[in-house]
Amino acid sequence: MKSAKEAASNVAASAKAGMEKTKATMQEKGEKMTTRDPLQKEMATEKKEERIHAAEREKLETRQQAAAAKQGGVLHPTGQGYTTQPDPTAVPPQDPNVAGGARTGYGSGNTY
């Protein structure tokens, strides 16, 4: 189930990044068409490249977070990137066969 969620998250991140890249390219083309100044055209290209890199960065971060969630951890930002650590709020799974479980009618200790 978690791998399906991870895959869906990755697909959504890729689609969003693709849309952002397309928007950046279209905005650049529009800005280039409205000006004759070569400096303005160069600035439009640089802005497009920044937006594309930002979209890729967001996509990679989303993929890393999905992978961390699949492993049961949380990404924590550090000075040099992210580190995966166990989620402190996660409830550990409990085995119903361990002592203390309320399984009425099974091994109640009564001898008939």
pLDDT at 15 over 60: yes
The more confidently predicted of residues 53 and 97 is 53
28, burial (CB in 10 Å: exposed 0-12, middle 13-18, buried 19+): buried
C-alpha 1/C-alpha 66 separation (Å) is 12
> What residue segments make up the domains of the chain, in order of their start?
2-86
Position 78 scores a pLDDT of: 57
Position 4 scores a pLDDT of: 80
pLDDT tier, 6 (very low <50, low <70, confident <90, very high otherwise):
confident
List Cβ neighbours of 20 (8 Å cut-off, separation of 6 or more).
51, 52, 54, 55, 58
C-alpha 84/C-alpha 70 separation (Å) is 11
Handedness of CA 17, 19, 20, 21 (dihedral sign): positive
pLDDT tens per residue across span 69-84: 777 655 555 555 555 5
| The pTM of the whole model exceeds 0.75 | no
